[in-house]
Structure 1
């Protein structure tokens, strides 16, 4: 009987010790690094480089630190790195220097291995409305379709591969030609807003812009709706997707922090940089759409070159 009592006490003490150790470990803040990589060319129309760097490095750090403490973990070090070349961002990610990447979905789908990506999120327009690329034209130029683009003046956003693929796919399908080979006068602008104004004031005839910019400019000047029309649309959900690297220790906790951005003043300031007031979850499988877009374009291009 004494032996049974002794064994029972040992078992109770062992489990009590294990429980206390587990509870103690769970109460300790988790120290973790958070290095964020941003593709600069997809956000450079929002503000100048210095303002973006300050905002992301200080505002984001402040917000993550504050939210982290609420959830009992600590961001030991944090920094935002702006990349001018997606290839440099890819190398930094593959070398383990980045924990979170923010870039256009087409570029993520082309330059980053799916198995290396974990949970993600994407900024949405107000009301969780998806972003889209638009082909727009002046209403008084008798442009009703792709066949009417020849000889016209076109403007595109600088350093935006998806915009180029969008217009190229349209002309390859309809005219069996690359858009650069259909007698277009082509110019580039940094901002979609500028392209819309250039069409409005008859400086150009057609342009590729983002739907968020088109909506905003219509709100500022309702007459734009009378002078500019939409010829074609490519829904893309968001201009930039964000993904943590797979296996990141606090991927769930920090995803929750990011999802709460719209609820805090500092979070709203960060989202203003991207002009996306809301955030929703984003799965790696959502990149498949951009694989399809690129594959279709590549096939059309090869067929036209034969």
Structure 2
């Protein structure tokens, strides 16, 4: 339950960064933000929207915000709403953001988690007793990872292709969709699956709650450090309103309610970031696409070589 609420509050706090504060007359511009099932991670669509309207109403008023949140069933639905100007910005994963980056302001907000740097690694966890030394050793075994973990899937598929292996859907005998991130870690701990991938901060927090995890699990691989969740506004939002909104979120940790919410989501602060801060994500995506294209060419050439030669009449 605590993990569930953490993800809800994380999402909602990030959306505050895109509110339209009218700094001179204290009248809030009405802003509609959008996210998808990827952005809310462990939380449900209904819980996210209800919690935003009820639990954070006072906090929003304190920042002169008139903001509504829509959570879409898929990333494509989110993009459709964005392209039709039904929403004013996007909160979600770096991959979701990059698909509409050319229509967004270059400044965005990112969360700085407790137990990790602003940019943190993704880590692949396995059981120490299984003596797994390479990703290849996991062929035909079980993976536990949420369907909403798009960054983790990108990292895993890139690793597999780098090792001349098929992507995860063909590589693993079974792919388990745990109810939340922590359950994925516990699946490996108790032997219900053989590997999971989580953010560095999520694993460190899990170890704080259950030190036995560090004794039984080991890190098989780590990614380059990357941002976790980001929130950005459309280019059309007035700069003055955008900057005021971003500053209100940066200053949030100085308020009592803000400090409480920071503790709930295990966050240190909210920080302004720019386009260059997504370079590691771009590099990973580019590497994946290149490897996938090369694997496709190799497979095509192999199939051609297997065709029997024609026998002349």
Would the TM-score normalized by the shorter structure come out above 0.5? yes
- In 2, distance between residues paired with 1:269 and 1:38? 24
Match of 1:134 in 2: 123
Contact 1:38–1:82, Cα closer than 8 Å, also in 2 = yes
Match of 1:18 in 2: none
1:293 has 2:284 as partner? yes
- In 1, distance between residues paired with 2:172 and 2:54? 48
Aligned alpha-carbon RMSD (Å) = 2.5
Match of 1:256 in 2: 247
Match of 1:101 in 2: 90
| Secondary structure, aligned partner of 1:190 | coil
Deviation, structure 1 residue 271 = 4.9
TM-score, normalised to structure 2, is 0.78
Contact 1:38–1:83, Cα closer than 8 Å, also in 2 = yes
Contact 2:37–2:75, Cα closer than 8 Å, also in 1 = no
1:88/1:192 CA distance change after superposition, 3 Å = same
Match of 1:56 in 2: 52
1:159/1:29 CA distance change after superposition, 3 Å = closer
| Secondary structure, aligned partner of 1:117 | coil
Contact 2:143–2:193, Cα closer than 8 Å, also in 1 = yes
Structure 1: which 5+ residue stretches go unaligned?
A: 1-24, 69-74
| Secondary structure, aligned partner of 2:166 | coil
1:268/1:42 CA distance change after superposition, 3 Å = farther
Contact 2:32–2:87, Cα closer than 8 Å, also in 1 = yes
1:89/1:48 CA distance change after superposition, 3 Å = closer
Match of 1:188 in 2: 177
1:230/1:164 CA distance change after superposition, 3 Å = same
1:146 has 2:135 as partner? yes
- In 1, distance between residues paired with 2:264 and 2:88? 20
Deviation, structure 1 residue 268 = 4.3
| Higher normalized strand content (fraction of residues) | 1
Match of 1:117 in 2: 105
Contact 2:38–2:93, Cα closer than 8 Å, also in 1 = no
Deviation, structure 1 residue 281 = 0.8
Contact 1:60–1:270, Cα closer than 8 Å, also in 2 = no
- In 1, distance between residues paired with 2:178 and 2:193? 12
Deviation, structure 1 residue 51 = 3.3
Contact 1:119–1:255, Cα closer than 8 Å, also in 2 = no
Deviation, structure 1 residue 216 = 1.5
Question: 154-163 vs 271-280, which deviates more?
Answer: 271-280
Deviation, structure 1 residue 83 = 1.7
Match of 1:280 in 2: 271
TM-score, normalised to structure 1, is 0.79
1:208 has 2:205 as partner? no
Instruction: Give the aligned length.
Output: 273
Structure 2: which 5+ residue stretches go unaligned?
A: 1-21, 298-313
- In 2, distance between residues paired with 1:222 and 1:26? 47
1:67/1:180 CA distance change after superposition, 3 Å = closer
Deviation, structure 1 residue 204 = 1.5
